[in-house]
Amino acid sequence: MGWGCFTRVGGASFIEPYRTAALDRWWAITESGTVRVVGGTPCEYVRGVARSDLVKALLRSHQRGDDAGFQRAAKDLIEDERRKRHDLVAEQLEAILDEPGHRRRPPQVSSLRPLPKTRDDLPLISLEEPRLSFQDLVLPKPVIEVIESLVDEFRQRSAMRAHGVSPRSSLLFVGPAGSGKSASAEAMAGQLGLPIARVQLATIVSSYLGETARNLEQIFSFLEVGSWVLVFDEFDMLGRERSGRADHGELRRVVAAMLQVVDDHKADSLFIATSNHPTLLDSAVWRRFDEIIEFESPDESARSEILELKLRSVHYDFDLSDAAKKMEGFSAAEVEAVALDAIRLMVRELDKHVTSLHIAYAIDRGEARRQIIRRSQV
Ligand SMILES: Nc1ncnc2c1ncn2[C@@H]1O[C@H](COP(=O)(O)OP(=O)(O)OP(=O)(O)O)[C@@H](O)[C@H]1O
Ligand SMILES: [Mg+2]
């Protein structure tokens, strides 16, 4: 007895029970010094201390608005419950923790250090708090499985490194507009309790001589000190600008430098590039990513699920699958827009339910919007 209950607290300190020469006295080394064990077995005592430390860590991180710390402490607490075979409690806690992001306090992204800016005072990156969670998204099972494995790997990055491997940390999300690429990047950041650092590719490339290198340096030194989900939207800009811009070579160098940093950083930050024109990316760029995830337009049953999800806060009395059938070709974002339009109409008309008339009107509006966009792209 005694030595089997070494307990890790808050992911950092160890509490170690030991016996003095007097043999009948048990002591424990804790974060706040050595204390005599009074009452119970040392294991019970240590667990008691460990548990109260976990709760303290939880409250402290909540008080500070430190969501990453809060997530860590909550996970430790859940693990502690599992160790004690309180599986039901652990599951309930996990379910609470997984509730939609907007109900959770988002991580604070205020930074003591000023954001890096160009010589003309334009921000080179923007910091955002993730608000979406995977509960807000309908994604195909294979996509969810890959994302879950990536989140898991990233969480266990220290253990990975201890075994001589690094987690997959540079990801490319490809797929049509409104299919959930940016939303998934945000939900991943939310799951990991990390802020999003959005990088403005166009702003980094400067027309001033030597400024691009200075901009990059500024970004790197800012990012170096923390963990982020680094997001590059419209990554295909690199391909799009190929023929047109004189500074295309510069753009390529910027991207190569960013990818190199991600490689070197192995990997306290997650790098996610998104593109809805993947054909514009050349093979050298594809190869740089650890993982590529393809997002698709939703099929009929996914459209029906999205509609149901986005109407979860209201009552409705129309046939979901009928409506989903009518939205052939709609992206997930367009289905969401239909749901929100239908709710707006319900409110305007002082109704208590979203009816088939509301949804038909919203689908018509959605279709009209699609036509306008299509015409503008010809
Ligand atoms: N698969 C999905 N399930 C539910 N809602 C979705 C899904 N995909 C997108 N949405 C909704 O549409 C919004 C816009 O989607 P998002 O910005 O992720 O699209 P995207 O793929 O990044 O598009 P783009 O290529 O234009 O940047 C999201 O914030 C979300 O609310
Ligand atoms: Mg996007």
For the chain, what are the domain ranges? 3-97, 125-294, 300-377
Query: Sign of dihedral through CA atoms 219, 167, 150, 13?
Result: negative
The tens digit of pLDDT for each residue in 115-170 reads: 888 888 888 888 888 989 999 999 999 999 999 999 999 989 888 888 998 889 88
CB contact set of 374 (below 8 Å; sequence gap of 6+): none
Closest ligand to C-alpha of residue 337 is 1
Atom 13 (ligand 1): residue with closest C-alpha? Answer: 333
Report helix, strand and coil shares of the chain as percent, to nearest 5: 50, 15, 35
**Cβ(169) – ligand 1 distance below 6 Å:** no
The tens digit of pLDDT for each residue in 255-286 reads: 777 777 666 655 578 989 999 887 777 777 78
What is the Å distance from ligand 2's center to 142 Cα? 20
Residue 244 has pLDDT above 60, yes or no: no
Query: How far apart are alpha carbons 245 and 241 in whole angstroms?
Result: 6
Please tell me the predicted confidence (pLDDT) of residue 207: 63
Residue 366 has pLDDT above 60, yes or no: yes
Specify the amino acid at residue 58: L
**Complete DSSP assignment for 326-370:** HTTT--HHHHHHHHHHHHHHHHHTT-SEE-HHHHHHHHHHHHHHH
CB contact set of 179 (below 8 Å; sequence gap of 6+): 276, 295, 296, 297, 298, 331, 332, 333
Please tell me the predicted confidence (pLDDT) of residue 13: 36
**Ligand 1 atom closest to the CA of 132, numbered from 1:** 29
Query: How far apart are alpha carbons 140 and 145 in whole angstroms?
Result: 9
Tally of CA atoms within 13 A in the half-sphere of 338 that contains its CB: 33
Question: Which of 66-70, 131-135, 291-295 is least confident?
Answer: 66-70
Please tell me the predicted confidence (pLDDT) of residue 121: 87
Name beta bridge partners: 316.
Answer: 354
What is the Å distance from ligand 2's center to 176 Cα? 9
Task: State the average pLDDT over residues 225-249.
Answer: 71
**Ligand 1 atom closest to the CA of 275, numbered from 1:** 25
Please tell me the predicted confidence (pLDDT) of residue 150: 95
Backbone phi and psi for residue 29, each to the nearest 5 degrees, phi listed first: -90, 120
Structure tokens at 143: 């996509």
What is the Å distance from ligand 2's center to 34 Cα? 53
**Cβ(302) – ligand 1 distance below 6 Å:** no
Structure tokens at 317: 């009395």
Q: What is the mean pLDDT of the chain?
A: 79
pTM value is 0.70
CB contact set of 49 (below 8 Å; sequence gap of 6+): 7, 9, 15, 28, 30
**Cβ(304) – ligand 1 distance below 6 Å:** no
Atom 18 (ligand 1): residue with closest C-alpha? Answer: 180
36 falls in which pLDDT band (50, 70, 90)? very low
Question: Which of 60-69, 90-99, 244-253 is least confident?
Answer: 244-253
**Ligand 1 atom closest to the CA of 139, numbered from 1:** 1
Residue 235 has pLDDT above 50, yes or no: yes
Task: State the average pLDDT over residues 27-50.
Answer: 49
Closest ligand to C-alpha of residue 309 is 1
333 falls in which pLDDT band (50, 70, 90)? very high
Task: State the average pLDDT over residues 180-207.
Answer: 88
Packed helices 181-192 and 141-155: angle between N→C axes, nearest 10 degrees: 40
**Cβ(231) – ligand 1 distance below 6 Å:** no
Residue 183 has pLDDT above 90, yes or no: yes
Closest ligand to C-alpha of residue 338 is 1
Top mutation candidate among 181, 331, 335, 373 for ligand 1, by most atoms within 8 Å of CB: 181
Task: State the average pLDDT over residues 9-34.
Answer: 42
| Domain formed by 125-294, architecture | 3-Layer(aba) Sandwich (3.40)
Closest ligand to C-alpha of residue 335 is 1
237 falls in which pLDDT band (50, 70, 90)? confident
- Pick among 1.10.3470.10, 3.90.550.10, 1.10.3720.10, 1.10.8.60: CATH of 300-377: 1.10.8.60
The tens digit of pLDDT for each residue in 74-83 reads: 888 888 888 7
Given a contact cutoff of 8 angstroms between Cβ atoms, the answer to whether 345 and 334 are in contact is no
